[in-house]
Amino acid sequence: MGVNFSAFEIGRRALRASEYGIALTGQNIANVNTRGYSRQSAILVSSPSGGTGRLQIGTGVSILGVQQFRDQFVATRLQTETGISGRLTAQRDALLPVDAAFNESDGNGISASINAFFGSFRSLEANPVSVPLRTDVITKANAMTSAFASTRARLVEIRSDNDAQLRSDVGQLNQLTQQVADLNVRISTAEHSGGNAAELRDQRDLLVQQVAELTGARAVETDSMVTLTLADGQAIVSGNHFTPVDIQNLSNGLSALTIDGAPAAIGDGRLKGLQNAIGIIGDQIQSLDDLAESITTRVNTIHAAGTDGYGNAAGNFFQVPVTGSFAANFSVAAAIKADPRLISASPLAAGSTSATVAGAIASLLHDTSSTSGARTGSFSSIYSSIVSDAGKEVRTMEDGLLTQQAIMSQAIAQRDASSGVSLDEEAINLLQFQKSYEAAARFLKIADEMTQTILALGA
What DSSP letter does each residue of 47-77 carry, written as one string? PPEESSGGG-EE--EEEEEEEE---HHHHHH
What CA–CA distances, in Å, run from 3 to 126, 402, 444, 446?
Answer: 125, 72, 15, 14
Report the range out of 206-220, 308-322, 336-350 with the highest average pLDDT: 206-220
Mean pLDDT of 86-92: 95
What integer pLDDT is reported at residue 300 of this predicted model? 95
Question: What angle (nearest 5°) sits at the alpha carbon of residue 355, between those of residues 349 and 361?
Answer: 100
* Residue type present at position 369: S
What integer pLDDT is reported at residue 458 of this predicted model? 66
What integer pLDDT is reported at residue 54 of this predicted model? 66
> Helices 379-419 & 269-303, crossing angle to 10 degrees?
180
Quickly list H helices, 231-321.
269-303
Cβ distance 184 to 225 under 8 Å? yes
DSSP state for residue 241 in the 8-state scheme: E
Q: Which residues contact 239 (CB under 8 A, 6 or more apart)?
A: 181, 184, 225, 227
Mean pLDDT of 15-31: 92
Q: How far is CA 155 from the centre of its chain?
A: 20
Q: How far is CA 361 from the centre of its chain?
A: 46
DSSP state for residue 267 in the 8-state scheme: -
Please state, for a pLDDT cut of 90, what percent of the chain lies above it. 64
Alpha-carbon distance of 336 to 445, in angstroms, equals 110
Q: Which residues contact 127 (CB under 8 A, 6 or more apart)?
A: 133
pLDDT grade for 72, boundaries at 50, 70 and 90? confident
Q: Is the pLDDT confidence value at 325 over 80?
A: yes
What integer pLDDT is reported at residue 63 of this predicted model? 87
Mean pLDDT of 36-65: 80
| pTM (predicted TM-score) | 0.85
Mean per-residue pLDDT over the chain, rounded = 89
What integer pLDDT is reported at residue 35 of this predicted model? 85
pLDDT grade for 1, boundaries at 50, 70 and 90? very low
What integer pLDDT is reported at residue 356 of this predicted model? 82
Render pLDDT for 235-265 as a digit per residue (tens, 0 to 9). 999 999 999 999 999 988 899 999 998 999 9
What integer pLDDT is reported at residue 348 of this predicted model? 64
Alpha-carbon distance of 399 to 403, in angstroms, equals 7
Write the burial class of residue 193 (CB in 10 Å: 0-12 exposed, 13-18 middle, 19+ buried).
exposed
What DSSP letter does each residue of 355-380 carry, written as one string? SBHHHHHHHGGG-TT-EETTEES-HH
* Residue type present at position 15: L
What integer pLDDT is reported at residue 351 of this predicted model? 46
Cβ distance 284 to 390 under 8 Å? yes
DSSP state for residue 286 in the 8-state scheme: H
β-partners of residue 356 are 347
Alpha-carbon distance of 154 to 108, in angstroms, equals 14
User: Domain limits of the chain?
Assistant: 6-69+420-458, 76-407
Alpha-carbon distance of 164 to 170, in angstroms, equals 10
Mean pLDDT of 32-59: 80
What integer pLDDT is reported at residue 353 of this predicted model? 55
**pLDDT higher at 141 or 412:** 141
Alpha-carbon distance of 54 to 10, in angstroms, equals 19
Mean pLDDT of 368-385: 92
β-partners of residue 263 are 258
pLDDT grade for 324, boundaries at 50, 70 and 90? confident
What CA–CA distances, in Å, run from 364 to 133, 145, 319, 371?
Answer: 19, 17, 19, 11
Q: Which residues contact 128 (CB under 8 A, 6 or more apart)?
A: 345, 346, 356, 358
Mean pLDDT of 116-143: 93
What CA–CA distances, in Å, run from 196 to 33, 61, 185?
Answer: 22, 19, 14
Q: Looking at 58-62, 169-173, 376-380, which range is the least confident one? A: 58-62
Write the burial class of residue 235 (CB in 10 Å: 0-12 exposed, 13-18 middle, 19+ buried).
middle
Please state, for a pLDDT cut of 70, what percent of the chain lies above it. 94
Alpha-carbon distance of 410 to 74, in angstroms, equals 10
Residue 351's H or E segment, with its range, is: none
DSSP state for residue 312 in the 8-state scheme: S
Q: Is the pLDDT confidence value at 4 over 60?
A: no
Q: Is the pLDDT confidence value at 102 over 90?
A: no
pLDDT grade for 310, boundaries at 50, 70 and 90? confident
Mean pLDDT of 173-186: 96
